Amino acid sequence: MCSDVNKASQASEEIKEEQSILASNAWHLARYIIEHDDKIQIPDGVEIGQFILWSENYPTLKPDEKIKFVDQYALLEKAAENVTARTLVATRIHGRGFFHATFKTSVGKYLLFLSLVTAVFVALLLGSTMCPILKKYPTLIPFFAAGLGACVFLLRKTQEKLKSREFDPARIPSHMIRLMLGIIAGGSIVFFPQLFIESESSAETSDLALGQGAVAFLFGYAVDVFYAVLDRIGGKEITGD
């Protein structure tokens, strides 16, 4: 009996927490739409003032009011398109201080991680031309360059999404996958040195590595193009079979 009571109490707390999150997200979304009413048309049937009041008092609303509130919430999210309540909450770091924005938010932690990874690739590329140990392994340069290219792309895209309030932390794992795919795509060119020189004797190994590194950077940056070509080739082969 005691166990059932505890489970019921836990479920009740979880429901209250979910309701609080829903109400907070709805409030942020409504505020954003009001601030951008010159670009976003409020859907018919949505009274934005009433909607804000509902969001502030959501747990105490009557059942029929909650239904209307959720319906209008869905309409507002469609009107805002790529800007959702989740992206608004994630990118709301203005006025909270550098420390909070960097270490207390998912966006700040992601940018810090991405910046550190970018710095590591830059250091490795510089070290490959100066460090005796790294100079012995010129074939690593394309992997470093591809990683840098992928990081530059992700930083640029993140900057654009933050500016438009469209950055969704839920996509961070896919960004990490893209980083790894970029490293693989750019680094794979070390297996095709003949694409850069006619013979090994016609160029120094370091020059070959630098040439590969330049192309690897482009592959890492534009990894979608690289894999789109592979998909087309693979698709033709499957069709031909």
Instruction: Render pLDDT for 181-200 as a digit per residue (tens, 0 to 9).
Output: 999 999 888 777 655 554 44
- Buried-state track 185-202, b at ≥16 Cβ within 10 A, e below 16: bbbebbeebeebeeeeee
Q: What is the pLDDT of residues 81-91, one digit of tens each?
A: 888 888 888 88
Q: Is 221 found in the same domain as 149?
A: yes
Q: Is 74 found in the same domain as 14?
A: yes
Quote the CA–CA distance of 190 and 159 in Å, as a whole number.
Answer: 31
**C-beta atoms surrounding 111 within 10 Å:** 19
135 within domain boundaries:
yes
Q: Is 122 found in the same domain as 21?
A: no
3-state secondary structure (DSSP) of residue 60: helix
Q: Is 108 found in the same domain as 184?
A: yes
How far is the CA of 53 from the CAs of 46, 79, 85, 204, 228, in angstroms?
Answer: 12, 20, 17, 71, 48
Q: Is 12 found in the same domain as 120?
A: no
User: Which DSSP helix (H) or strand (E) runs through 204?
Assistant: none
Residue 143 has pLDDT above 90, yes or no: yes
Q: Is 171 found in the same domain as 53?
A: no
pLDDT at 72: 92
94: closest CA among 155, 2, 162?
Answer: 162
230 CB contacts (<8 Å, ≥6 apart)?
none
Give the chain's domain count: 2
91 within domain boundaries:
no
Domain boundaries, position 74? 2-81
226 within domain boundaries:
yes
Q: Is 131 found in the same domain as 51?
A: no
Quote the CA–CA distance of 205 and 108 in Å, as a whole number.
Answer: 40
Q: Is 193 found in the same domain as 104?
A: yes
Q: Is 75 found in the same domain as 25?
A: yes
Quote the CA–CA distance of 73 and 23 in Å, as a whole number.
Answer: 10
93 within domain boundaries:
no
Which of 28, 50, 81 is a domain's end point?
A: 81
pLDDT at 208: 53
**Statement: the pTM of the whole predicted model exceeds 0.85:** no
What's the distance, CA 42 to chain centroid?
A: 28
